[in-house]
A and B are shown apart, each in its own frame.
Chain A
Amino acid sequence: MSDIIQKVKNLSIGFKSKKGEEILILKNISTKIKKGETVGIVGESGSGKSTLALAMMGYVKHGLYTIGGECEFNSSNLLNMKSKDLEKIRGRKIAMIPQNAGQALTPNLKIGYQIDEALQLHSDLSEKEREKKISELLNKVRLPSPETIALRYPHELSGGQQQRVAVAMALAGTPDLLLLDEPTTGLDVTTQAHVLELLNFIAKDTGTSMVYVSHDLGAIAQVSDRIIVMYSGEIVLEGPSRDILKRPIHPYTHGLLKSIPKLSLAGLPESMPGSQPQPGIIQSGCSFFDRCNFSEDKCKNNSPQLEFLKELNTSVRCFNYEKLLKESQFNQNVNKIKNNSNDKEILNLSEVSISYAKQKLLDQIFNRISDDNPTVKDININIKKGETIALVGESGSGKSTILKSIAGLLRTKDGLIRFDENRNLSSDLKERNPNDLRIIQLIFQNPDESLNPNHTVEEIIAQPLKLYFGLKGEELNKNIIDLLQKVRLGEFYMSRYPRQLSGGEKQRVAVARAFAAKPDIILCDEVTSALDVSVQAAVLNLLQQLKEDFGTTYIFVSHDLAVVRAISDRVAVLYQGRLCEVGPSNDVYKFPSHPYTEVLLGAVLEPDPDIKPKLVAEDIVEEKPPEKGCSFQGRCSRIVGDICKKEIPPWQLTDSGNAIRCHIPIKELQKEQF
């Protein structure tokens, strides 16, 4: 069996709790990695996927220890190897690519020097040869002009370039096995697609085995030959990538795939109830029992074993997989969202520009903002009462900046924000009256940061109630319970602290706090991106339900086009703080579209092996918007000539009422896009 490179045998890893109980993070894991194969390990946070990947290079995190089993690499067990011997394997035979390359690269050493260091450690090349090898490696990861990149410092590179450098460093030791821990998670959609494509190429080119750890089934689908699905420290499903994505036979994977929003489907996907149990909670029975739609009585007390199905070449940990096996075709149902917006305009942004530039002394004295090329410029959007409008774009596109100004947290340079057709809202908090503040509420991306860790849920929700309505005592209590019930949390959550809640529960509390103010508009800033996939759909469904009940208007900021597709009525695409396209979401997701929208749509990773991302434009990162002409000129693959560089493109309307800002006539745009 020489083609097996890594063998994990009955591996259990755990820690001792304060009470001295042994709590398992990994439960009896066995798997094999073949030569040249790419294996994707997928699971939610806390499922043990990173612990497994680290164990594969003989590393156990501080505080954890191996309870049993082994990780065999070239028939020697890494877990009881001396650190001297491990040094010889790590980097040379097994290399690791971390999630955040920006933090993994030493900030004060040049890129070339850092790669050279890796080469010195892991190869026996002479200085001359190493120099050649460095530019070879940088070339291989497709970094432009390797000679100049080698002389740069990490902070001079973009996130995608840093990740490429990390890949180059990992390849320096010509490893047999490459471990990748969420290598594309922090990157923009377009960059992510490019890095994945690079990894695919490297896997084929060098024949290196890869273990790709991610929570993102979309990314996993693009790279892996085989998928391992982990849940609560166990392998629940393992098999060929295509079969798992097309015909998931474990209820968890089945539910997970159903709850992921897809570009091709408008509407909210079904959500999975509950969340993954904390380690050490489940003593007996199937760990997925609580959330399972297929569970029976026997699942409660008996733990299913991982069963190998020869005809499918798949292992599954479930008593009832046959039920799913019989479902010949995997179908995803979505609940079409109701568009209950009326024609009444609730918020109007006209000619809004926002600048981050440091102001000169004179301007500071006169309390004015001057900047010829502001970060956000010429934003004109009409928002109707009751609709969900999404602002979409990569990082740096100004979407969160616009939200901040609407909330009054950031002063605008020019332009007006008008509420309810006739009331002007200042972008300065101090000039807004309490009612102006009440009508607009915010929900943030990361509930860990948006909830005060030293307040109980009760105190958190009470704040807006006390501030805006002056509620006290019994009435306050009643309102809090009422709000908790609206976000499907029980009364007993009142005395809990945020740290005692799961990610999804925290975000529900944040939603309850926003609704406590009885706002007309809620600004949602990437509200689902910090949540686990299986929880995301539930939160989206909740938001939609609340919107229908209260007639609230949402301004929804996200980088995830599939999520936006699921929840929004209208979409505005932004690039470098300028609008590119605005229209009903059905039309924005259909061609013809702005070249930038086309790039974004092409780069979306779907959990489907048949849908490959289309890489249209380069993933360059532009620091500043161009001073003249179209904002997208730097990356556009369809530039028509000088006009794009000199003149700001006009708005063009499509038949369905979709506005596109491009010099190319709509008919022409459509030709190449279908």
Chain B
Amino acid sequence: MKVNSIYKEEKKSAFQKVSEVIITMASRPSGFIGLSILVFHIILAFISPYIAPYDFKAINPTLMLQAPSAEYWFGTDDLGRDVFTRTILGGRTALTITFFGSLIALLWGGLLGIFCGLVGGKIDDIVMRIVDAFLSIPWILAMLLIVSLLGTSTEVLIPALGFFYGKGIVRVARAATHDVIAKDFIVSARARGHSNFSIIWNEIIPNVRDAILVEGAMRWSWMLLGFSSLSFLGFGVSPPTPDWGLMISNARGLMSFAYWAVIAPIVGLSSLIIGINLTADAFAKALGIDRSTKAPV
């Protein structure tokens, strides 16, 4: 039998697949902008301790609320600290905590959702009602409770954020699993007698992975906003560690005459959130690309 050349697409390595997705993402203007912003922030988080021009905690009463100048690019704050230094350092904690928080959210939310979707029945009902109950609690109140009981250390914040943002992923993962388990290849695996674990690992995860990853990326930007809100309220990072939420909170009262002290962290925070959002969108489109550009025969 002759082989059609269109089918001569060989199996790709994981690296090839990932790079292909990234290239597709970058080929759209919005994806390119999002990716550039995100990459910029990540690189900045890595190198900022080495490029920061001043010490972030150096208080200098003589330099209070200086307007931006050649010496102090973004001006200084009410304690005379350099705003530029604090801004480029201010994303590090937020980025790290929320990145690991999202990973935890992705893991427990994804796995629980898949499990519920697969087993169904009573267990599914009970778990989902508990998730619903948690969804109905305003997260910020619950977070404040946890933080005030257990403190604001990284070891508390990462799992706490991970837990609160994973609830939404449970629903998405469960819905995606429901789409897949109706398919015959799951029936076939069941009829062969594979274990639930094997069905989840081999049959379901490869098919719901994309949906969960996209949801996780969206959750990341939400979590970043949430974390900054906590800092803003004074429950996130403790001073004098530079953090955008904290910086906005400190400088907001002086906004009318020292706008620079509040604008810089706002730009930092919102650009990162926009960057993650655009990237997540482009990611979703890049993964769904098979369907939308396939020849409509």
Contacts and interface: CB of A to CB of B under 8 A. Distances in A.
Interface of A: 15, 17-18, 23, 25, 46, 48, 51, 61-64, 273-274, 277-281, 290, 407-409, 429, 432, 434, 437-438, 440-442, 444-446, 449-456, 463-464, 467-468, 488, 490, 492, 495-497, 499-501, 513, 517
A110 B1 CA distance: 52
B297 A279 contact: yes
Interface stretch (B136-144, B201-209, B250-258): B201-209
A281 B296 contact: no
Interface centre among A64, A442, A454 (most CB of B within 10 A): A454
Contacts of B190: 409, 429
A429 B191 CA distance: 7
29 contacts: A15-B296, A18-B293, A23-B295, A51-B297, A61-B296, A64-B296, A278-B7, A290-B2, A408-B191, A409-B190, A437-B193, A438-B193, A442-B191, A444-B184, A449-B183, A449-B185, A450-B184, A450-B185, A450-B187, A452-B185, A452-B202, A452-B206, A454-B207, A467-B192, A467-B194, A495-B10, A496-B7, A499-B290, A513-B188
A530 B11 CA distance: 26
Given A17-B295, A452-B207, A274 B7 contact: no
B189 interface: yes
Contacts of A454: 206-207
B71 interface: no
A279 B295 contact: yes
Interface in B1-46: 1-7, 9-11
Contacts of B206: 452, 454-455
Interface in B66-94: none
A444 B194 contact: no
Given A446-B184, A454-B207, A407 B7 contact: no
Nearest to A280: B6
Contacts of A434: 193
Contacts of B191: 407-409, 429, 437, 440-442
Contacts of B194: 463, 467
Given A449-B185, A495-B10, 7 more contacts: A62-B296, A279-B295, A290-B2, A408-B191, A444-B187, A452-B185, A452-B203
A442 B188 CA distance: 7
Contact of B192 (A273, A449, A463): A463
B72 to A, nearest CB: 51
Contacts of B187: 409, 442, 444, 450
Contacts, number: 99
A291 B101 CA distance: 58
Nearest to B295: A15
A64 B294 CA distance: 11
A450 B7 CA distance: 20
B4 A467 contact: no
A497 to B, nearest CB: 8
A274 B193 contact: no
A501 B4 CA distance: 10
Contacts of B202: 452, 455, 463
Contacts of B10: 495
Interface of B: 1-7, 9-11, 183-185, 187-194, 202-203, 206-207, 290, 293, 295-297
Contact of B11 (A25, A64, A495): A495
Contacts of A517: 192
A273 B5 CA distance: 18
B189 A463 contact: yes
A447 to B, nearest CB: 9
Contacts of B297: 25, 46, 48, 51, 279
B124 to A, nearest CB: 16
Nearest to B205: A454
Nearest to A408: B191
A493 to B, nearest CB: 9
Contacts of B3: 490, 492
A444 B9 CA distance: 26
A632 B190 CA distance: 35
B267 to A, nearest CB: 38
Contacts of B193: 429, 432, 434, 437-438, 467
A136 to B, nearest CB: 38
B2 A274 contact: yes
Nearest to A442: B191
A278 B294 CA distance: 13
Contacts of B295: 15, 17, 23, 63, 279
A485 B237 CA distance: 64
Nearest to B180: A452
Nearest to A454: B206
A450 B2 contact: no
A455 B207 CA distance: 10
Contacts of A513: 188
Contacts of B5: 281
A453 B207 contact: yes
Nearest to B187: A409
Contacts of A18: 293
Nearest to A525: B184
Given A429-B190, A437-B192, A467-B193, A278 B6 contact: yes
A353 to B, nearest CB: 21
A496 B8 CA distance: 8
A464 B189 CA distance: 9
A409 B188 CA distance: 10
A500 B185 contact: no
A467 B188 CA distance: 13
Contacts of A499: 290
Contacts of B1: 273-274, 488
A495 B3 CA distance: 14
A456 B7 contact: no
Contact of A281 (B4, B207, B293): B4
Nearest to A290: B2
A127 B183 CA distance: 48
A445 B297 CA distance: 22
A408 B10 CA distance: 37
B185 A501 contact: no
A467 B190 CA distance: 12
A277 to B, nearest CB: 6
